[in-house]
């Protein structure tokens, strides 16, 4: 919602050059401040919940060390997996997130493109796509992988999906072991 209001403010500022919309811009800025205050309060509350439980805090600290994984991604992973108890391995969680594509075929006659399952959790997939974008920018190993796949002719979103899947694998590896994430040189 805050992005929507920010975009509306920008549009109205452009419009204000020809028509007076100062009152609308002022109202939208007030609304934006309220939403940002609410977002901040919710993030604080989520971190308090994580810090109140020793197991959650331990998992959170390990997960956030993975490059590209921020507080929201870590908290969502801990909540969805019930602190990595609900899902026994990363592949099952990838299927749940909609990051694992499946072949569409029926015998020899019907063949189609690979697709993710329609029962996927779209909000998780969106969070992991954003985390993958951040990881591509900041992790030299994933950046090299991304560029190599793009040069091979793979579609951009397909490669981002693969990077997101790699993030899930890294998160589960770090969460299940008592070892911290080690940044590898590309």
pLDDT in tens, 73-117: 999 999 888 888 888 888 888 888 888 777 766 666 666 677 666
- Contact between residue 121 and residue 96 where contact means Cβ atoms under 8 Å apart: yes
Beta bridge partners of residue 105, listed in sequence order? 111
Helix (H) / strand (E) containing 178: none
Residue 182 pLDDT > 80: no
pLDDT in tens, 10-39: 887 877 776 677 778 888 889 899 999 999
């Amino acid at each position: 919602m805050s992005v929507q209001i920010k975009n509306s403010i920008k549009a109205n500022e452009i419009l204000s050059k020809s028509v007076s919309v100062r009152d609308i811009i002022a109202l939208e800025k007030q609304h934006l401040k309220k939403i940002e205050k609410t977002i901040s309060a919710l993030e604080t509350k989520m971190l308090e919940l994580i810090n109140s439980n020793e197991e959650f805090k331990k998992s959170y600290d390990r997960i956030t060390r993975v490059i590209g994984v921020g507080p929201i991604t870590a908290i969502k992973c801990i909540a969805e997996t019930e602190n990595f108890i609900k899902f026994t391995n990363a592949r099952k969680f990838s299927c749940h997130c909609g990051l694992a594509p499946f072949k569409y075929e029926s015998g020899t006659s019907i063949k189609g493109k690979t697709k993710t399952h329609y029962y996927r959790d779209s909000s998780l997939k969106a969070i992991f796509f954003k985390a993958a974008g951040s990881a591509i920018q900041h992790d030299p190993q994933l950046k090299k992988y991304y560029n190599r796949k793009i040069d091979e002719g793979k579609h951009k979103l397909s490669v981002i999906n693969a990077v997101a899947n790699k993030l899930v694998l890294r998160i589960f590896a770090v969460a299940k072991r008592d070892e911290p994430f080690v940044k590898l040189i590309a």
